Every structure is written in C-alpha cells, then in structure tokens.
C-alpha cells in the first residue's frame, strides 16, 4: 500500500512545501511500513521538477499533464486526486497546508471518507492508535489528536520537517483523470502574482516592516535588506490597512502565517495578533526605537534604535559579510 502525496506547483515549479510533504510521507512510510510514496502532480510541470519530487522521497509520480489543471481549480483537483487515491489503493494522503491544499483536502476527505488533520508538525505516533501533533491557536499551542478512521489525510505545516534531498529519481507515469464539465464549473479568469523573487509563504527569511517606517516611500531599505538576504518582504496589519503595502504581505493572525528560519521585524511593536502570525519562526530579530515594545519579549535578538538609522547600517554590514 502506498502513501499518496498531492503536489502543488506555481507555473510549473514544484513548491517547496510540497517537497516537504513528500519528505514527511517518506519518513511516515518508513515508520509504518506502509510501502512507497506516490506523488500526484496535476498540470504542466517540467520533467526536472518531477525528478526533484523523487529526491524528496517519492518513488513514483503520477502526472496528469492536462493543461486545464495548470490553475488550481479546486473541484477538478479534488476529483483527480480522489481518482488517483482509489487507483493506488492508498489509505493515507499527505499534502502541504496551503490555500489550495486546504480547499482540495476538505473535498477529498468527504469523497474518500477520511479523517483529516491539519497543521501537522511531526510524524504521528502509531504504536497504539494514530495520534498526530497539530499546531493550534495560531501557533500558540499544540493539540495531540487521534484519527479514528482507516483513511487519513494529513496537511503538514510548512517548515515543520526537514527536506529530504537524497532520494532517487522518481518513475514518472502518465495519469489520465476522468474529469467532467462540472469539475470545471468555476472559471479562473486571471491570476496576479507578486513580482518579488521570493514568495512570502515559502520564504526562509522574511523582512517585515511596520508603522514605524512612517510611509510606503520608506520601504526601499526594507527591500534592500530582503534583496541582500534573498528574503521575502512582509508587513504588519496597519500597514496593509493603510495600503502602504499589498494585502498579500500582511503577516498576522488574520493574514499570512509564516514560519521562516529568520524573521526580521522593523518598526513593528508586536501586537499579540501579529505575533500569532510569526511565532513559528525559528529566530526573530526586532528593531524598534521603543525599548518597551512587546515584540522584544518574543524576539531572540533585538536592537533598540531608530530604524532609519539602524537599517541602512545593518544593510551595509550584511552586504560586507554575505
């Protein structure tokens, strides 16, 4: 019996979070003796991208190269995935928690009658029952949840597991999903993507600015730092509410939740709702002129100082060192 993994891609490039899901499934298969890992990739994806899925631990990729599946039409992806699940005879599906992953997994859970656990942060305990550790309360706590169904879907929180990179090339098989018109009843009329090189939800380093930066015209130094570090840029809620920065950069309880290796907060005081969006970061650096800013309590490193003075100097130091 195989473990199935749903692969997401952006314009043909497999997402890192999906490779993490493959790595998770590989470790899970080794733990439970559940067999090999089969990935399902939907839409136009380059051969070398599918090979990377093998490096992460999949032995086979079922590839439905139908260009109608390039965009993430939720119902169509859920239908195709359900067919792959039944064809393989899988009892477990692993995927990355994401906006598309959530939407697809939910429909799939109904189609195959699976118990679905999301925000999973480590391999399940399977010695007696099947218990997963999940991040809840926006990262402020964990729940240990027992899944009681035979069929299981696990949505993995990003950056929760180390990426496996030493797997063998995966065998790629064409997969024909029988999709009806109703699967494509919704039409995606256009897609707008951020122009930055690094997508915020997948970024390993995030540089984030708050109201302390005083206006959108001052974001140049934040963008400079992001460029030096190969990081994504982000912002606090007031900043996106004021339309200084686009909504898809808003990090926090009601915005994007990030879990990078390094989160640098500049001119952000650290309201509890903002902290909820970043508290899964491995290392937090705070730059703020107010020594009593609550963010310092959540930070690993901090500089008390004016961002307009500190950030340019820090950029120079980073440039010199990296």
Partner 1 sequence: MKILVCITHVPDTTSKIQFTSDNTKFDTTGVQYIIGPYDDYALARAVELRDQTSGKLTVLNVGEAETEPTLRKALAIGADEAIRVNAAPQDSMYVAKQIAHYAKEGAYDLILMGRESIDFNGGMVHGMVGELLGIPSFSPVMKLDIDGGKAKMAREIEGGKELLEADLPLVAGCQEPIAEWKIPNMRGIMSARTKPLNVVEAIAQETQVEAVKYELPPAKGAVKLVDKDNVSELVNLLKNEAKVL
Query: Of 46 and 272, which CB lies nearer to partner 1 in the complex structure?
Result: 272
| Piece in contact with partner 1 (CB under 8 A), picked from 23-31, 32-40, 56-64, 105-113 | 105-113
Work out whether strand 13-14 and strand 9-10 pair parallel, antiparallel, or are unpaired. Answer: antiparallel
Distance CA 91, CA 93 (A): 7
Distance CA 214, CA 30 (A): 52
Least distance in Å: CB of 186 to partner 1?
A: 4
Binding flag, residue 75, partner 1 (CB under 8 A): yes
**Distance between first and last Cα of the chain:** 47
Binding flag, residue 242, partner 1 (CB under 8 A): no
Query: Of 59 and 135, which CB lies nearer to partner 1 in the complex structure?
Result: 135
Residue among 56, 88, 268, 286 that touches partner 1 (CB under 8 A): 286
Binding flag, residue 147, partner 1 (CB under 8 A): yes
Query: Of 141 and 178, which CB lies nearer to partner 1 in the complex structure?
Result: 141
| Piece in contact with partner 1 (CB under 8 A), picked from 33-41, 58-66, 111-119, 162-170 | 111-119
Residue among 2, 55, 59, 135 that touches partner 1 (CB under 8 A): 135
> For the window 206-225, what string marks contact with partner 1 as x by the rule CB under 8 A?
--------------------
- In the DSSP assignment, the letter for residue 125 is B
Binding flag, residue 235, partner 1 (CB under 8 A): no
Binding flag, residue 131, partner 1 (CB under 8 A): yes
Query: Of 87 and 145, which CB lies nearer to partner 1 in the complex structure?
Result: 145
Write the secondary structure of 209-274 as one string of H (helix), E (strand) and C (coil): ECHHHCCHHHCHHHHHHHHHHCCEEEECHHHHHCCCCCHHHEECCCCECCCCCEEEEECCCCCHHH
Residues from 20 through 59 that contact partner 1 (CB under 8 A): none
Query: Of 87 and 149, which CB lies nearer to partner 1 in the complex structure?
Result: 149
Query: Of 31 and 146, which CB lies nearer to partner 1 in the complex structure?
Result: 146
Least distance in Å: CB of 239 to partner 1?
A: 13
| Piece in contact with partner 1 (CB under 8 A), picked from 25-33, 41-49, 57-65, 104-112 | 104-112
Distance CA 128, CA 124 (A): 11
The CA-atom distances, in angstroms, between 102 and each of 77, 119, 154 are: 12, 10, 10
Give buried/exposed letters for 59-90 (b at 16+ CB in 10 A, else e).
bbbbbbebeebbebbbbbbbbbbbbbbeebeb
Residues from 149 through 168 that contact partner 1 (CB under 8 A): 149
Q: Which residues contact 277 (CB under 8 A, 6 or more apart)?
A: 138, 139, 251, 252, 253, 255, 256, 257, 258
In the three-class reduction of DSSP (H, G, I as helix; E, B as strand; rest coil), residue 305 is classed as coil
């Amino acid at each position: 019996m195989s473990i199935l993994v749903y692969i997401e891609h952006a314009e043909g490039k497999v997402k890192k979070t999906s490779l993490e899901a493959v790595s998770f499934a590989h470790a899970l298969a080794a733990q439970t003796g559940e067999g090999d890992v089969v990935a399902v990739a939907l839409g136009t994806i380059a051969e070398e991208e599918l090979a990377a899925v093998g490096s992460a631990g999949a032995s086979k990729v079922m590839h439905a190269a139908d260009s109608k599946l390039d965009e993430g039409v939720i119902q169509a992806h859920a239908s195709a995935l359900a067919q792959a699940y039944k064809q393989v005879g899988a009892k477990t599906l692993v995927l990355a928690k994401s906006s598309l992953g959530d939407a697809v997994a939910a429909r799939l859970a109904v189609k195959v009658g699976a118990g679905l656990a999301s925000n999973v942060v480590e391999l399940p305990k399977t010695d007696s029952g099947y218990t997963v550790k999940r991040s809840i309360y926006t990262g402020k706590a964990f729940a240990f949840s027992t899944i009681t169904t035979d069929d299981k879907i696990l949505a993995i929180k990003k950056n929760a597991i180390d990426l496996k990179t030493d797997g063998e090339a995966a065998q790629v098989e064409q997969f024909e999903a029988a999709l009806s018109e109703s699967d494509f009843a919704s039409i995606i009329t256009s897609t707008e993507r951020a122009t930055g090189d690094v997508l915020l939800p997948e970024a390993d380093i995030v540089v984030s600015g708050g109201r302390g930066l005083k206006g959108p015209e001052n974001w140049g130094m934040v963008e400079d730092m992001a460029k030096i570090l190969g990081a994504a840029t982000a912002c606090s809620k007031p900043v996106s509410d004021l339309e200084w920065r686009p909504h898809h950069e808003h990090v926090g309880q009601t915005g994007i939740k990030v879990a990078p290796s390094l989160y640098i907060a500049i001119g952000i005081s650290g309201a509890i709702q903002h902290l909820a969006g970043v508290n899964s970061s491995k290392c937090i650096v705070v730059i703020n002129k107010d020594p009593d800013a609550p963010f310092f309590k959540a930070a690993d490193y901090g500089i008390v100082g004016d961002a307009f003075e500190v950030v340019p100097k820090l950029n120079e130091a980073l440039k010199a060192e990296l």
